[in-house]
Structure formats: structure tokens, C-alpha cells
Chains A and B, each alone.
Chain A
Amino acid sequence: MFRVGNRGRLAVGAVVVGAALALSGCAAGDPLETESGKTDSAGGTIVVGSQAYPSNELIAEIYAQALEAEDFTVERQFNIGQRDAYLPALESGEVDLFPEYTGNLLQFYDPETTATTSQDVYAALQEALPEGLAVLDQSPATDQDSYNVTAEFAEDNNLTTIADLAAIENLTLGGNAELAERPYGPSGLQSVYGVTVDFSATGDTTVDALVEETIDVANVYSADPRIQTEDLVTLEDPAGLFLASNVVPLVSTDVADQIADVINAVSAALTPEGLVELNVKYTVDQESLEDVAGEWLAANGFTAQ
């Protein structure tokens, strides 16, 4: 199967050479697209973006295939780094649709927010979004930052919540480099729970670093299958350091109405367990992105089996 993910991107590049070529190349993959009045009236292509994070990429691919199944023309701009890098692209209209997370996104626009529950966060987020951006319905699936320790470490130190860490000295927290500056990073740990940590920017090797004990506490996203496979213990967060973070489609208001039906249906069908399962297929079973997304859409009745 031709990997649609890159077909779109190749097309972007080909624009440099010749826009016409790119467009015909894109459409050639699906003759229905050219016949469908919908894409023409849509006034162009829906550009779907994703973070450089496999779990996010999966959701983006599901959005993209769901839209394609409804005869939209889709272009993929995946792996656009972190929020701080891609939100400007959404605001400028380069990207139309992006899988986001309610809590993290709210904290980005409103670092002082006090909302912690799922509903409050979603409501506050709708207020906080800048002009031109909107969110569609949030999904029950969550994928939020969480602090994790190894089962052994949890047992040895009798840990169940983040607050229990305060009793331990010389803790090292590992996570993406930017965690150092995030409100829920070392400073938040200190102010909310009185936990003092050193920070180590372990990036994409964070879980390995935790398992190999070069760090004591790791910031892992809750949909990461390695929490199960590596037998990690996610510390509870009674004081709400982390906001609830449900998967939510962030869209440009220009296309929100057009795609709302398709994407809202996807969001409704995506469950927390379903998201972990998708991740298992992608990272543990090493299936390809479009296969994992395609199978999920078929299994959930979006496309013919």
C-alpha cells in the first residue's frame, strides 16, 4: 500500500516544482476525489498536522483517513515538533486540523489556569483559544503527562502519589528537554507537592532511562504502552498538578464546520483503552501507521472492512 502519509508531503514539496503536477499527483491516488464535488466546494485541501510523537501521529492519521473516506482531499504535515512549534502554523492557516490534548493546550494559552477536571478544562480551553482556532468535541481518550516510577522503586519507597516523593532525597526527574520550563515541571513539583528534583533531559529515551535507573521519576504520556509493558507505576496526582488532558481536535475555524461531523464521530469512538491499543499495534507490533489507522477505522465502522 502506498503510504498516504507521505504522498501528501511529497506533493507539498512538488509545489516548488509545479503546483499543477502536485495536485494531479495527489488526486491520482483516488479517482473519486476528482469526481467529488465536495472537495471542490470545500475550497481546497484539509491539512492535517501531528506532533513528532507516535501516539499523536496515529490520531492524525485516523483523522486523515476518516476525512479521505468522506472524499475530502487531505494533505499531511506530520511530525511538526512540539506545541510551541506548530501552533503558529495553525494560527497562520498552514495547518487546518491537529490532534491536541485539552489540558496541555489550555496550559499553553493560560498557564495560570485553575481548571483540572476534564469538563472544566474543556470549557476553559474554548475561552482561551485565540481567534481563528476552535476545538471540536473532546474524546474520552486521554493522553496526558504523568509521573511514573518503576514498580520496584514504588515498593521500596512506599509510593502511591506524587506527594510521597517529598520524603526522598536526591531525586532525578527525566523527561523532554522542555519539561524543565513547563508549569508542571520541576518548579510545579516544588510548589505544589514540595518535591525537590534534579532534572535530566532524557527526551525520547526517558522510559529507558527510568528502567535503567539513571533517573528516578519519568514524565511519560499516559497512553504509552510501555507503562504496562515495563511495569511502571503512575503516581497519583491528588493536587491536580497535571490538568486532565483529553484528546481534542484543534481546528482552524475556516474548516471547522466542514469537518466537524466526521471528526466528532472519530473522537466519540476513541476510548482511552483504544488509544493504548493503537499504540501497542504501532510501537510494539510494529505495524505501519496507515494500517493501524485503517484497521481502527474499519473496526469502528467508519470504512468498509
Chain B
Amino acid sequence: MNWILDNLDLMLELTLQHIRLSLPPIILGFLISVPLGWVAYRFQLTRGFLLTVAGLLYTIPSLALFVILPPILGISFLSEINITIALTIYAVAILTRSVADALGSVDPAVRDCATAMGYGPWRRFWTVEFPLAGPVTLAGLRVAAVSTVSLVTVGILIGVQSLGYLFTNGLQRRILVEVFAGVVLVVLVALLIDALLAMAGRRLMPWAPRPRSSRRLALRGSAAPE
């Protein structure tokens, strides 16, 4: 316990740093996957291709991606952009499928109604389809967010500071409570971001199912009976 009391500042700083590293990939991942998911949903031909590529990217171990990106992209080994790009790739891999599934889950009758009322494709997408796809997309976003927060820790192995520092430093110094504090803080950050996303969802999408079920997350479409 002494360790915790002596290192509150360190823990706070690493937590803030961790949050700072976690947010850009979540936001960028979301922004990139909306158009990608739309393309995957809209054009059957690209659907298989896009979702396969997304699935493939997701199988690359995070540590491997962190170390391979710098030479491929010509960025510095120590650059945080490296982590941001790698984690954005994972977020896109998760979210593209969520967005495609979410758009697919919109009742075709509603879509037809909008068309019948004279909505063009652009307006129909932004005012009808996308909002209705929101709850399922949000569920995917929450999975991506939690995953990102967890993966940021691996960055410590290539020298990017985060709460992961408490893991490696704790192991090297054999301070169990340090590692434990790290795990707890990562979980808290993940749950915090998750709760914020859920709250934002409730605020922005009053048409979403009530909290009871909105806590549930998106199901991968391939196997989803509907």
C-alpha cells in the first residue's frame, strides 16, 4: 500500500497520459469506419473484401504492429503517432463491421418510406439511416474503445509511456501492488470512457433502446439471425 500512497502523482500522470493516447484512435477509428462501413453495406461486392481485410488487420498482434509500422511508414520508432496509427487500425477493424451491420439492421421499410417521401440518398443517409444505425454502431464503438484502452498498455514495450509502465516497471522491481494498481487504473479508464460513450449515446439518440438493452453490444452480422 505504501507504494500507492508514495506514487499518487505518478499514477495520476500516467492515467492522464493513457487517456490522451487512447482518445485519438477511438475518434479517428470512428470517423474512418463510417464511410468504410457504408461502402461495405452499400456495395455487396466490396463488403466481403472490406470485412475480410478488416478481420485480417485485427489478427496482427499489437506488439508486432507497433514495431512494424515505423519502418513501413518511415516514422520514428519512438513516435506516439506510431501507436495512434496502430490502434486506429484496430478500431477501424472492429468498427467497419459494426457500421456495416448497423446500417444493415435498419428496417428496409423505413428506408423505402424515406425514399418515397423524396429523400435523396445523401439526406436519407444522414437523417434516417445513420441515426437509426446509431445504437448498434455505438455498441461497436464501445467495444473498440475498451479494446483500445487495453492495447495502449502494450506500447510500453516500445517505449511509449502509459499505464503499461506500471506493468513492466512493477515486474522489474517486483512490486505486486504497482502492477495491480496499473491493472485497476486501466480498467477504470476503460469503464470511464465506456460510460461516457453510453451517456453520449443516450443524449444524442433518444430513440435508442432503453439503457437496459443499450448496454448490449453489436453482434457480428454473419451469424446474426434476424
Contact flag (A, B; Cβ within 8 A) = yes
Interface 9-mer from B30-38, B48-56, B104-112, B154-162: B154-162
Q: How far is the CA of A89 from the CA of B77 in the complex (A)?
A: 8
Interface 9-mer from B4-12, B94-102, B190-198: B4-12
Q: Could you say which residues of chain B place their CB within 8 Å of the CB of A7? A: 13
Known contacts A52-B168, A79-B159, A85-B159, A286 near B3 by CB under 8 Å: yes
Q: How far is the CA of A204 from the CA of B17 in the complex (A)?
A: 25
Q: Choose from A10, A94, A288 the contact partner of B78 (Cβ within 8 Å).
A: A94
CB pair A81–B158 under 8 Å, yes or no, is yes
B20 within 8 A of A: yes
B165 within 8 A of A: yes
CB pair A80–B9 under 8 Å, yes or no, is no
A13 within 8 A of B: yes
Q: Could you say which residues of chain A place their CB within 8 Å of the CB of B156? A: 52, 79
CB pair A288–B159 under 8 Å, yes or no, is no
Measured CB to CB, the nearest residue on chain A to B158 is A81
B44 within 8 A of A: no
Q: Choose from A3, A6, A53 the contact partner of B172 (Cβ within 8 Å).
A: A53
CB pair B16–A77 under 8 Å, yes or no, is no
> 0/1 per residue, B142-166, Cβ < 8 Å to A?
0000000000000011110100010
B60 within 8 A of A: no
Q: Could you say which residues of chain A place their CB within 8 Å of the CB of B161? A: 6, 9, 78-79
Q: Could you say which residues of chain B place their CB within 8 Å of the CB of A86? A: 78, 159
How close is B135's CB to chain A, nearest CB, in angstroms? 32
> 0/1 per residue, A175-206, Cβ < 8 Å to B?
00000000000000000000000000000110
CB pair A3–B9 under 8 Å, yes or no, is yes
Measured CB to CB, the nearest residue on chain B to A224 is B172
Q: How large, as a class, is the contact surface on chain A?
A: 20 to 34
Measured CB to CB, the nearest residue on chain A to B16 is A10
A247-304 at interface with B (beta carbon < 8 Å) = 282-283, 286-288
> 0/1 per residue, B110-127, Cβ < 8 Å to A?
000000000000000000
Number of interface residues of B (CB under 8 A): 30
CB pair B159–A77 under 8 Å, yes or no, is yes
Known contacts A52-B159, A85-B158, A282 near B13 by CB under 8 Å: no
CB pair A204–B168 under 8 Å, yes or no, is yes
Known contacts A6-B10, A13-B80, A286 near B165 by CB under 8 Å: no
Q: How far is the CA of A53 from the CA of B172 in the complex (A)?
A: 8
Measured CB to CB, the nearest residue on chain A to B14 is A6
A54 within 8 A of B: yes
CB pair A2–B21 under 8 Å, yes or no, is no
Q: How far is the CA of A282 from the CA of B7 in the complex (A)?
A: 13
A92 within 8 A of B: yes
B27 within 8 A of A: no
Q: How far is the CA of A286 from the CA of B4 in the complex (A)?
A: 10
How close is B8's CB to chain A, nearest CB, in angstroms? 10
A81-116 at interface with B (beta carbon < 8 Å) = 81, 85-86, 88-89, 92, 94
Measured CB to CB, the nearest residue on chain A to B174 is A283
CB pair A288–B158 under 8 Å, yes or no, is no
> 0/1 per residue, B167-203, Cβ < 8 Å to A?
0110111110000000000000000000000000000
Q: What are 9 sample pairs from A and B whose C-beta atoms fall under 8 A apart?
A: A3-B9, A3-B10, A12-B80, A13-B21, A77-B159, A79-B165, A80-B159, A85-B158, A86-B159
Hey, which bits of chain B sit against chain A, CB under 8 A? 2-3, 6-7, 9-10, 13-14, 16-17, 20-21, 76-78, 80-81, 156-159, 161, 165, 168-169, 171-175
Q: Which 8 A-B pairs have the closest CB atoms?
A: A80-B159, A283-B173, A6-B13, A3-B10, A204-B171, A9-B161, A3-B9, A54-B172
